[in-house]
Amino acid sequence: MKHLESVEQFEDLHNGGKTIFMFSAAWCPDCRFIEPFMPEIEAKFPEFTFVHVDRDDYIDLCQQLDVYGIPSFIGYENGKELGRFVSKDRKTQEEVENFISGLKK
Q: How far is CA 41 from CA 8, 34, 105, in A?
A: 26, 10, 18
Among residues 4, 13, 22, 31, the one annotated as catalytic is 31
The 3-state DSSP class for residue 62 equals helix
With b meaning 16 or more CB within 10 Å and e meaning fewer, what string describes 17-50?
Answer: ebbbbbbbbeebebbeebeeebeebbeebeebbb
Among residues 28, 62, 70, 96, the one annotated as catalytic is 28
The question of whether 62 is a catalytic residue gets the answer: no
Which residues are designated catalytic?
28, 31
